[in-house]
Amino acid sequence: MNRVLCSTGTMIGRPNGRNFRLLEKMCPLLNCDGLEFLMYDTWYDRISEIKEFMKTIPMPVYVYHIEKQIGELISKNQLDEAIRRMKINCDLAKALGAELLVLHLYNGVISDSNIDFNIECYKYLEKIADDYGLTLTVENVVCNHKDPMTHLCALIEKYPQIKLTFDTKMADFHKQLDLLYEEKYRHVWAHIAHFHINDYLGGYMDWTNLRVLHLGQGDIDFDKLFEYIKKMGYQGDFTTEATSFEGDGQIYPERLNETVNKIRNYIS
C-alpha cells in the first residue's frame, strides 16, 4: 500500500525558529498517513528532548531525512565527523520508529565536486544504517558539477543492492525527469524505494528557483509521472516536502492537505 507522507520540513524552518514543538499543534490538522522527519544541524544538543517530545505526537514517523551536512562533510574529506553524526541520526531515527532513511550523499556549495570519494564512502554509511535495522536511500540531490542521474547510475553499478529516493524537483532542476521514462534508465526503477513529490518552476539549473513547490505551482507533468509510476508497479511511499510556511513563520496546513489529496487521487 502506498502511503502519503508530509515532511516536517514543510512546517518547521528558519522563519519559525526551527521549533519542532509546533508539530504538536499542526499534526492533528493534517490528513497524511504519517511523517518524514527532517533533522537539522542545530538540533544535536536536543536529541533527548526530541525523542521525548515525539512520543507525544500520535502521527507515525515512517521516514527519517538525515541531517544534510553529513554529505557535505564527506565531500570535504571529514569522514570521521560524518560517521559520528550518522550514528546519532540513525539512533534518533530508530527511536522515532522510522523504517527508511533519506541521505544527501553530497551537499552544499562543495556539492558533487568530490563525488568519487562520496561514492566510496557510501559503504560506511550503509553499514551503520544496517546495524540499526534501517533502510538507507540516496536522494538525487542537485549538483553543480555533473548531474544526479549520472551519480545514481554510478552508485547502482558499484552497489547493486542500493536503494534510492527519487525527488521530482531535483530531477526537473537538471531537466532529467523524463529520463525515468527511457529504456536506458529502466533499471533505476528497481532501486527506487521512495519518492519526494515536489513541483518546480524554473529552467535548467535555475538556482533562483529552488523553493520547494506544491503540486500545480510549477510545470512538472504529474499526470505523466503517476501514469508511469502505476505502470512500473511502484509500491513505496510518497512524501511532499512543499514549503507550507511564510517568511513570518506562519504555517498553512491546508496547503499541505491539498497536496496530499492530489497525490492520493493520483495513486487511488
User: For residue range 157-167, what is the model confidence (pLDDT) as tens digits?
Assistant: 999 999 999 99
- Where in the sequence is the domain holding 187, given as residue range(s)? 4-267
pLDDT band for 1, please (50, 70, 90 cuts): confident
Q: 13: Cβ–Cβ under 8 A, 6 or more apart, which residues?
A: 243, 245, 249
What span, in angstroms and rounded, lies between the C-alpha atoms of 56 and 205?
41
What span, in angstroms and rounded, lies between the C-alpha atoms of 198 and 221?
11
Q: Can you tell me the mean pLDDT for 28-55?
A: 98
Instruction: Give the pLDDT score at 60.
Output: 98
- Specify the DSSP class assigned to residue 193: E
User: For residue range 170-219, what is the model confidence (pLDDT) as tens digits?
Assistant: 999 999 999 999 999 999 999 999 999 999 999 999 999 999 999 999 99
Sign of the C-alpha dihedral, residues 65, 67, 69, 70?
negative
The total domain count for the chain is: 1
User: For residue range 129-143, what is the model confidence (pLDDT) as tens digits?
Assistant: 999 999 999 999 999
What span, in angstroms and rounded, lies between the C-alpha atoms of 29 and 23?
10
User: For residue range 30-40, what is the model confidence (pLDDT) as tens digits?
Assistant: 999 999 999 99
Rounded alpha-carbon distances, angstroms, from residue 75 to 123, 184, 195: 15, 29, 25
- Using a 10 angstrom Cβ sphere, with 0-12 exposed, 13-18 middle and 19 or more buried, the burial of residue 153 is middle
pLDDT band for 250, please (50, 70, 90 cuts): very high
Residue 40: give its domain's CATH number: 3.20.20.150
pTM, 2 dp:
0.98
Assign 249 to helix, strand or coil: coil
The percent of residues above 90 in pLDDT, for the chain, comes to 100
